Amino acid sequence: MTLRLLFEEIRSNIQKISNDLGYPTVEFDISEASKPEFGDVSCNIGFLLAKPLKKRPSEISESVANEYQKHKGEFVSKITVHPSGYLNFVANYETLARSVMQSSTEQNYGQFNVGNNTKIVVEHTSVNPNKALHIGHVRNIIIGDTVARILHKACYDVQVLNYVDDSGLQVADIIVGFKYGGFAKEPLQNQKFDHYCGDVVYVSITERYEKEPSLAEKRAIVLKELEEGSSEMAKFGDEITRRVLEEQLKTCWRLGVTYDCLNFESQIVRSRLWTTVLEKMKSMGIIYLENEGKNVGCWVIKSDSEVEEDKILIRSNGIATYIAKDIPYATWKLGILEDPFYYKHYAMQKNDRILWETTLENTGTKLNFTGDTVITVIDSRQSRLQKIITKIISDFKSKGKQYTHLGYESVTLSSDTAKTLNLETGGKSVQMSGRKGLYVNADYVLDILGVKTYEEAKKRNPELDEVTLVKIAEQVAVGALRYSMIKQDLDKIITFDMAESLSLEGDTGPYIQYAHARSMRILEKAGKTPDFNVSFDNLNTEHERNLVKTIGKFDMHVEDSAKNLSPKMIARYCYDLAVSFNSFYEHIKVLTAESPEMINARLCLVWSFKETLVKALSLLGIDAPARM
């Protein structure tokens, strides 16, 4: 097992001692010591009892320590009291090392049961299928994918959805471009179709609306025809959006992201879901038909507060608004209503994960992609709308169902990067805009990163063949991008700078991957599998102990990360693990250690590290190449 055992042992012993001494019950903390010289684990019980017992914290800690000395347990070797009042513990490293290292070789090491196999749905990506994915979408995708991976590790039964908004205005725009704007259906050269639609057709056509009112009129007509499912226009729209989607998904797969099911908005609109939900909301009195005032003739959600406006769900012309389309989808995700869809196979993804799509045609296949908890990953500019949806869902009072909006701040472009897109911002960063062509495509970033990582890998490993080098370069490029999107807090804006994103040193994905490559090299050169059935008494330098401890913390970080829906905690852990290893690597020789026993023990440690890092990195969707 892991460091968790050490913590739990100390906790239960102190609880018992405190009871035996007749102390009042307090919620004391067992935490990692803040500095190595204090030991490994600290307890603050002295501070908490100081007031009720009218004694100095150190005095109380002293009494507890005296009792503790009598039966130290399996994992503690030393107890000390710091003058400040803290009660500090030093681990029994031999026991700890054996315990940690043996469990680290298990297949499911790091797993921790938070979810109890509860069904949970994560929806992310959900990009309009009229353009390529840009760096802002990547943050959404990587957060969603990482959270899904972590929840899976924390024993949730996870399904991942991607909502395809194929019936909106943005789609109409590119259709106008093809039908009336004079754009050829095929891009020139080898341009990806999604890049063509977004970078060329979409940007130009929105620019032309201003000068050509006739085009803008066409848009309204196209939009209307798109919503009528059987029209020629709808068929054409379907063909185009599917081609864009296909290209978008290639980018997602390139990033190591996979899904379980694609939901098409057009189908939700045409299905009976919408009318059912509408009736339900009407009958429950959640929405009202406005008889007077500026919203006359609209179905609205009444606002609770004075200052907030009522929210219109159905316009006076009978057409639903943007937010209205999200409500039936939310109920579908939670499985509140009967599922109107059939399912068909869309694609086979890596690791044999099948990607399904919804369909209204009777394929005979019924599947279930719903969950008791739904997590919708959307940037926090949508917080207001998401709050309304959450409220409506909770009004439905379906037992045990929970709708959660996982928000995050947006990605902006640095002033320098904006300048390369011909926008002078005067040193300020700027919000991206698909409409204005102000964005950096994900594929482009990966390509540029790939060139750099390829050159590096080739320089370091001239003997490797081309195919291997290209693969390593791509893995490192993806690692760099994914890590940069996840290491920061969700509430912090990421200012994307092209030049800066090419720096691969320090707190980056490649730094962590490099630690793995180093460990692999040692194991490779050792030429044998280490024997774990030995004593690890000899691993007694600070570097070795520190590495053992860090390895042993994996499951605690999985638990925290899952409970807080905080992917950065795992990023942080991967970095800490790599730092521990690199420090070990620089100071401790493995293959040239003084005795065969020492070599074996250190090889075990390297092996444990490697196994743990690979598992932790896989939660971030980052591959760990053996060479780089």
Partner RNA sequence: GGGCCUGUAGCUCAGCUUGGACAGAGUGCUGGACUUCUAAUCCAGUGGUCAAGGGAUCGAAGCCCUUCGGGCCCGCCA
Q: Using CB under 7 A, which residues numbered 413 to 472 contact RNA?
A: 428, 431, 453, 456-457, 460-461, 472
Residue 492 in the binding site for RNA (CB under 7 A): yes
286-325: contacts with RNA (CB under 7 A): 294-298, 305, 307-309, 312, 315-317, 319, 321-323
φ, ψ of residue 345 to 5 degrees: the values are -65, 125
CA distance 371 to 118: 8
Give the pairing type, strands 261-264 and 354-359: parallel
Binding mask 4-33 for RNA (x = CB under 7 A): -------------------------x---x
Which CB, 370 or 561, lies closer to RNA? 561
Whichever of 312 and 613 has its CB closer to RNA, that residue is 312
* Residue position matching structure tokens 């296949």: 365
Enter the tokens of residue 625: 């190449």
Does 100 contact RNA by CB under 7 A? Answer: no
Burial 256-268 (b: 16+ CB within 10 A, else e): bbbbbbbbbbbbb
- 353 vs 419 by CB, closer to RNA: 419
For the segment 138-177, give every residue that binds RNA (CB under 7 A): 165, 168-170
> How many binding residues for RNA (CB under 7 A)?
96
Shortest spacing between CB 236 and RNA, in angstroms: 18
CA pair distance 440, 442, nearest whole angstrom: 7
CB of 422 within 8 A of CB of 436?
no
As measured in angstroms, the least distance from the Cβ of 514 to RNA is 3
Q: Does 555 sit near RNA (CB under 7 A)? A: no
Least distance (Å) between residue 562 CB and RNA: 12
Interacting residue with RNA among 579, 598, 614, 618 (CB under 7 A): 579
Shortest Å distance, C-beta 183 to RNA: 21
User: Residue 262: helix, strand or coil by DSSP?
Assistant: strand
Q: Please, which of residues 32-91 interact with RNA by CB under 7 A?
A: 33-35, 37-38, 42, 44, 47-48, 50-51, 57, 82, 84, 86, 88
| 287-289 sheet: strands from edge to edge | 287-289, 299-301, 311-314
Q: Do 81 and 62 meet the contact criterion of CB atoms below 8 Å apart? A: yes
* Smallest separation, CB 249 to RNA (Å): 20
C-alpha neighbours within 13 Å on the C-beta side of residue 352:
0
The closest of 569, 54, 23, 571 to 43, measured between CA atoms, is 23
CB contact at 8 A, 14 and 61: no
DSSP 202-241: IHHHHHHHHH-HHHHHHHHHHHHHHHSTTSHHHHHHHHHH
Region 499-518 residues binding RNA, contact defined as CB under 7 A: 503-508, 510-511, 514, 517-518
The distance from CA 100 to its chain's CA centroid, rounded to whole angstroms, is 27
In the bound state with RNA, the residue whose beta carbon lies nearer, of 300 and 367, is 300
Place of tokens 């590495």: 547
Least distance (Å) between residue 345 CB and RNA: 28
Residue range at the interface with RNA (CB under 7 A); choices 230-238, 334-342, 437-445, 582-590 = 582-590
Counting contacts by CB under 7 A, is residue 385 touching RNA?
yes
Binding segment toward RNA, per CB under 7 A, in 199-207, 395-403, 529-537, 578-586? 578-586
